Structure 1
Amino acid sequence: MTTQTHERLYFPEPDVVRHDSGIRFESYRRDDTEVRLSFIPPGAVLNSGDLEKARVGMIVRGGLTVTVADVLKVMRPEHDVYVVPPHVALSATNSTAEETVLLEITRGKTGEKYPAPDGYFLEPLESRKFVKMDVTFFLADWIELMVADIPGGGQMPYHKHSHEQIGICLEGRYEMTVEATSHELRFGGTYFCAGEEGHSAENPNAGLARSLNIFIPPRYHRVPKQEEEQETT
């Protein structure tokens, strides 16, 4: 496999689609998982896509009124997360005066189960310091999300674990390495890291970088103790 092929595997280029409604999508894929940024103009309505797959969504900027089944929620940026199992309808409306950016993960992998939390929505579970970063966690049965602030000069040392990890740059820029392939991530840039693929992150810049990191299954709050002791953080 060539270096270019490796880069496309770990750091895919986005497919960009613009709908007549004015909504623009940037979609990153690896295997059975898609990371999609939706840029939703004021007044636009976003309806369920592929109902065969599970969906997890977080607002990056702006605001969104979301209905999952019969549960309605006004979502706040980086505070509310929806976790929607297959075959459950979702609709969203941007009732604000500004563009909203929705980050959504869709997944449909054979043999996996995607239970929903009570009420379909999560709020932050915990915020704390982690390897000199400020991090906030969201936790569901099958997925864990970690929003991390990487200060200038900060880094996550090279390590590997059995959990699949996906990351998206939310602010600033930083260097991500998966196996021997490195790539600078800027807003929306996404990496995919399968279980046991080594990876690290570094912010060589003066400014703050912000990222969303996704672990399937959950790593930091539901990892078996013996595995946590064996793996490098």
Structure 2
Amino acid sequence: MKNKYNNIKVIGFDADDTLWVNETYFREAEEQAGRLLSHYETPNKIDQELFKIEIKNLPTYGYGVKGFVLSMIELALELSNGTVSNQVIAEMLKIGKAMINKPIELLDGVEDVLKQLSKDYRLIVATKGDLLDQERKLQKSGLLKYFHHIEVLSEKHDINYKQLLKRLDIEPEAFLMVGNSLKSDILPLVSIGAQAIHVPFHTTWQHETVSKKEANGAEYKTVKSLTEILDFFSANK
């Protein structure tokens, strides 16, 4: 491990659930939606149907709170056969606004890690989500000063990362990505010849999970907390 990151010049960070808490708020919102629609279906069925609608709507709405709220409303209309009350719709809109206005809760050690790494490496953010919402969260986080570039991607596939690195004139072997999602932050980078460090978050959206077969053979490092990655770079000096 001592020489693994010697060639790294740029380090990319995912944002949601890597720098700050995010998925927890979606789980809470899903529970609220379940209560609002409880007289139409069971909580488990509501969760399943909401997930199906979210995935169906991704090409139209993309990722983020706004698409989630629209999917909740669509579910309410479907389950109620169009008879859902205005009050329930209003409550769903209120849930969405509350999610957008949540305070930014940085994960443990985030600022210290960025402060240390920014002395020797160019740092960027590469995240998915709604552009306005992600810009707002970055501004509220107080972390913008550590990053040279912010990129909000519509998707995080191999081709998206290739295009990003080419646009920023970064060779794959000089790039390291740090994130909580194997599907979005780790496996695509490994496949294009970059390095990746997986920092799991305690809650993962179903859409971001991968099977053991999908991850089999991919070379990446997993750490328990973001602060552990500092050890790898101090060992290289």
User: Normalised by the shorter chain, which TM-score bucket?
Assistant: under 0.3
**What TM-score comes out, normalization by structure 1 length?**
0.26
**What TM-score comes out, normalization by structure 2 length?**
0.25
Could you say which structure has the larger radius of gyration?
A: 2
Which structure is higher in RCO with an 8 Å CA cutoff and minimum separation 6? 2
Higher relative strand content = 1
Higher relative helix content = 2
